[in-house]
Amino acid sequence: MATRKSTSPANPTTASAAAKAAADKPRSRTGSVTVVDVARLAGVSAMTVSRAINKPDGVPPATLAKVQDAVRKTGYVPNLLAGGLRSQKSRLVAALVPTLTSPVFGETVQALTAALDARGYQLMLGQTGYEKSREDDLLGAIIGRRPDGIVLTGVEHSAQTRQRLLAARIPVVEMWDLSPSPIDMLVGFSHEAVAAAVGQYLLQRGQRNIGVIGGADDRAVRRSNAFVAAALALGLPRPAVFTTAAPTTLASGRQGLQTLLAERPALDAVFCSSDLQALGVLTEAQASGIAVPEQIAVIGFGDLAFSRDLHPALTTVRIDGTRIGREAARCLVDQVEGIEVTERVIDVGFSIVERASS
C-alpha cells in the first residue's frame, strides 16, 4: 500500500497507485484492506473514517466525499465482527446461487454442505437471482461478517464484486463455469464445449433444422451463442433461437417450441437450456401431435432426477454437481487451513446421456 508523508488530500496519481497496491497484495487471511489503509488514501485519521462509515451525518461533506472515494477505490468493507475475534476462524462458508427454486444447483449445494460439515465448517446459502446488483448487495453484507470462504456461481461478476473480493483476501471458489482468469479458484466446466458437443451429436444423427431454447442469464446465453456458432461451423443452417427470462420454466419450453415452429416449420431438433424447459417442449409436442424423436429430437441440460422417467425419457447433458460441490469445499478449506491448493482451476467436464427423446 502506498504511504504518504503528510495528511494533505491524496492526489489522483497517488490514489490510483494506492488502490492498485491494495488489489495487488498477495492473498492471505490477514492481509485485507483495513480502515488504516482507507485513512491513508483519504488523507484523514482512522477515527474519521470510522465516523464517516458509521455516522456520515456528523462528518463534513468534503471529508465524507474523500472517505467514500477511498472506500470505493480500495474495495474496503467494514469488518462487522468484534476486533477481538478477528484472528479466529468463523468456520462459516457463504455460497451464492442464482435460485433456490430450480433443482439444477441442488446436487451441488448438498455435496458442498456435506463436505464442509465433514471438516467442521457450516454453509450459509444466499440467493442472488440473475441480477449482478443483487450479488453485489449480498456480498457487501457477507464480506463484512468475514466468513472463512465464499462460493460464487459463475464467473460473470461486476467490477465492484471483483474489487471487493480482491480487497478482502477471503478465499473464493467460483463454480459451474470455466475461465482462464478466475478471481481465486474455480471448479466447473465449459458451456461452450457443451454446446459444441450437442451440435456434433445432432449432426451425427442426421438433424439439420435445429433450434435452441435458452434462458437470458449469462451462462445460458453463452451456451446458446456457442450452439449457433458450432452449428454454422459444422455446415448446418443457422439455428433458430428463442430466449426467455431466467430461471427457465416448463411454460417457457412450451412457448419456445410454439415460437420456433412458427418460424421454422421443418424444425427437427431442439436443445434446451434446462431439463425443466425440455419437459415443456415434450409437453407441447405431445399436445400438438408431434412425435418425439421421429419428428423432433429434444435434448435438455442438467440431467435432473425426473428426466429418465419421462416418456420418452429425456436425452440431456449431465453435469457432475456432486463433484463440483466436493471440490469447491476441499479447495476452500485447504486454503483456509494453510494447505497448498496446487490445482486452482478444475474442469469436471460433462457427458451427453442419450435416451429416447433423441
What pLDDT, on the 0 to 100 scale, is given for residue 26? 39
Q: Which of 196, 194, 199, 205 is closest to 293 using CA atoms?
A: 205
How do beta strands 240-244 and 210-215 pair? parallel
Pull the grid cell for residue 225.
451463442
Residues of the chain with pLDDT under 50: 1-16, 18-30, 82-87
- State residue 95's pLDDT score: 97
> b vs e for 34-51, b when ≥16 Cβ sit within 10 Å of the residue's Cβ?
bbebbbbbbbbeeebbeb
pLDDT at 100: 84
**pTM for the whole structure:** 0.79
Q: Please state, for a pLDDT cut of 70, what percent of the chain lies above it.
A: 89
Task: Count other Cβ atoms within 10 Å, centred on residue 107.
Answer: 20
Whether residue 189 contacts residue 175, with contact meaning beta carbons closer than 8 Å, is answered with no
CB 316 within 8 A of CB 301: yes
pLDDT of residue 80: 60
Residue 87: predicted pLDDT: 47
SS3 state at 232: helix
Which domains occur in the chain, in start order?
Answer: 12-74 (1.10.260.40), 89-189+321-349 (3.40.50.2300), 191-318 (3.40.50.2300)
- What pLDDT is attached to residue 81? 56
CA max distance for the chain: 80
pLDDT for position 1: 39
